[in-house]
Structure 1
Amino acid sequence: MKINQLLHKIPHGAVVTTAWLASHGVTSDQARKLASAGWLQRVGHGAYCQSGESLGWESAIFALQTSNDTELPSLWPGGQTALALQGFVHYLPMGERTTHLYGNEAARLPRWVSDAEWAGQMVLHSEKGLPAQLPGSFTDYAPAGRAFSLRVSTPERAILEWIAVTSNELLFSSELVDTFDGLNTLRPRRLQALLEGCRSVRTKRAFMVLARHARHAWYGRLELGQLDFGKGKRQLCQSGKLDREFHVTVPEAFLYAD
């Protein structure tokens, strides 16, 4: 392949792996030679970008999502990161921004990603009872100033992911509760499918309590009778009271009122 053709195929601002290069007719040896000649820049073991590119965490995710042939991504931006990207989280916790990634049990971050200062801090969570193949899980997100898009969690999936990895102590924090107040445009059909496929009873019960408290119109359109909430009582709050509808201990302000 001619050098100009290759450089034209690498999206602006993206990192590509040797697997991606091989799929475009460039061997590892050729990639090393292109890097030595200054056409490519090596950013880590098996990872390259065009020389002189400004990189960010999105650049790394592009490389990871395009390094396999599967239709579903092996890892993806989810939880509060996906909600923030789509305009649903209007403030972030104090301190360094963290990119929250989710993936299947086998997903790992390569060392070149973990070591890359330009990628910032990343945390990889397991899917926590939310299989990636559930309908309505992903949407495309095009980062500003980049010539590529990423697969990220839909808002409906992202809020469930965030709940799944949040400790009981923080479930009813202002960060989550305030975010719920802004989720008035969630799609009930998509939520229904995700909730029916979710295997975490804790995630489903906590979501329901928070959603009911937010009083959005879509909550009334969920078919609760189709959902498996498990059996027995669960404690989501140390000094709370029992919610009679979902059988969880919650702060008194979140109780179901007859």
Structure 2
Amino acid sequence: MANKAVQHLMQAVPRGQPLDNDMLRDLGIGSVQASYMVKAGWLQRLSRGAYLLVGDHPSRDGIIAFLANRIPCLHVGGKTALDWYGVRHNIAFRQRVVLWGCSPYDFPSWVSKHMLFSYQTTQLFDNSFLPMQGLKSLPNGSPYVLVSVPERALLELASDIGKGQTLEEARNIVVTLRNIRPTVLDQFLSHCKRVKVVRLVRDLGLWSGYPWGQDLQKHVDRLGSGKRWSNRTRDGERLTLKP
């Protein structure tokens, strides 16, 4: 009976995919049987309620798919999303995966052992914006791993500036971002409530020199003319954005 369950798991579950109790239940394996399979050496327990086939290792996409069952609107965003679309400046030896979600989450320790990542819950958009808008799986990618479209990723990249993301690198990324869709970008900016983000996207658009970046002042004006926005970044530099 257990051997058949293991064979079923190996056939039904992608390699590197951690499993929780709900996933196991969907595969016909209850908690008692899962505990037996751990004792028998067919499953390893990563943490409470998290399992993996013995001899397997959690993959990047498998980890994200596992977390997506626990974190509302979890997705790959910002710099990582752009990189996965082929828009990048430098190729890191071990890239940090930028994750966004709608609520705080206490990540189990095994996640950071197998994946270098950052996570944030900054709310960029107003209440009329659908949280899942602009999120989709990539062609040939896991259907359970959602990624920001480039226009949304651009706003997330801007949000990260000063919080571990440098302005210089963001500029170098943006100058390779030729295929931004102006109508889609306008849609995201029209719902963005963060002054810093809107102003940075405007400045990055102008810096890029591409047509999509030439008519973004209207979004800054929507949030009010105001004063210069200024803040000190984590590395001690002063970031100042004009109205």
TM over 0.5: yes
The CA deviation at 1:39 is 2.8
2:124 alignment partner, SS class: coil
2:45 alignment partner, SS class: strand
Which residue number corresponds to residue 88 of structure 1? Answer: 87
State the distance in 2 between where 1:142 and 1:43 align: 29
Give the conservation status (yes or no) of the 8 Å contact 2:190–2:219. Answer: no
Which residue number corresponds to residue 13 of structure 2? Answer: 10
Give the conservation status (yes or no) of the 8 Å contact 2:73–2:132. Answer: no
State the distance in 2 between where 1:138 and 1:66 align: 16
**Structure 1 position 97 matched with structure 2 position 95:** yes
Which residue number corresponds to residue 171 of structure 2? Answer: 177
CA RMSD of aligned residues (A): 3.3
The CA deviation at 1:136 is 4.2
Q: Taking structure 1 as reference, are residues 111 and 43 closer, same or farther at Cα in structure 2, changes over 3 Å only?
A: same
1:215-230 → structure 2 map (5 Å cutoff): 215-220=209-214, 224=218, 228-230=222-224
1:42-121 → structure 2 map (5 Å cutoff): 42-67=45-70, 73-92=72-91, 97-114=95-112, 117-119=113-115, 121=116
Q: Taking structure 1 as reference, are residues 66 and 135 closer, same or farther at Cα in structure 2, changes over 3 Å only?
A: closer
**Structure 1 position 38 matched with structure 2 position 38:** no
The CA deviation at 1:38 is 2.9
Aligned length in residues: 233
Q: Deviations over 1:126-149 (max 9, x none)?
A: 1332478256421213677xx665
Moved more, 104-113 or 180-189: 104-113
Give the conservation status (yes or no) of the 8 Å contact 2:137–2:143. Answer: no
The CA deviation at 1:171 is 5.4
State the distance in 2 between where 1:11 and 1:18 align: 16
Name the amino acid aligned to 1:139.
K
Give the conservation status (yes or no) of the 8 Å contact 1:14–1:148. Answer: no
State the distance in 2 between where 1:135 and 1:100 align: 17
Give the conservation status (yes or no) of the 8 Å contact 1:20–1:66. Answer: no
For 1:133, which of 127, 130, 135 is the aligned residue?
130
State the distance in 1 between where 2:53 and 2:241 align: 58
Which residue number corresponds to residue 148 of structure 2? Answer: 153
Q: Taking structure 1 as reference, are residues 171 and 20 closer, same or farther at Cα in structure 2, changes over 3 Å only?
A: same
The CA deviation at 1:190 is 1.8
State the distance in 2 between where 1:5 and 1:123 align: 34
1:25 alignment partner, SS class: coil
1:167 alignment partner, SS class: coil
Runs of 5+ unmatched residues, structure 2: 232-236
2:97 alignment partner, SS class: strand
Give the conservation status (yes or no) of the 8 Å contact 1:205–1:229. Answer: no
For 1:23, which of 23, 26, 40 is the aligned residue?
26
State the distance in 1 between where 2:13 and 2:163 align: 44
Q: Deviations over 1:93-117 (max 9, x none)?
A: 6x75322211113344234424xx2
Give the conservation status (yes or no) of the 8 Å contact 1:143–1:149. Answer: no
Runs of 5+ unmatched residues, structure 1: 248-258
Q: Taking structure 1 as reference, are residues 204 and 28 closer, same or farther at Cα in structure 2, changes over 3 Å only?
A: same
Which residue number corresponds to residue 234 of structure 2? Answer: none
Provide the TM-score with structure 2 as the length reference: 0.79
1:16 alignment partner, SS class: coil
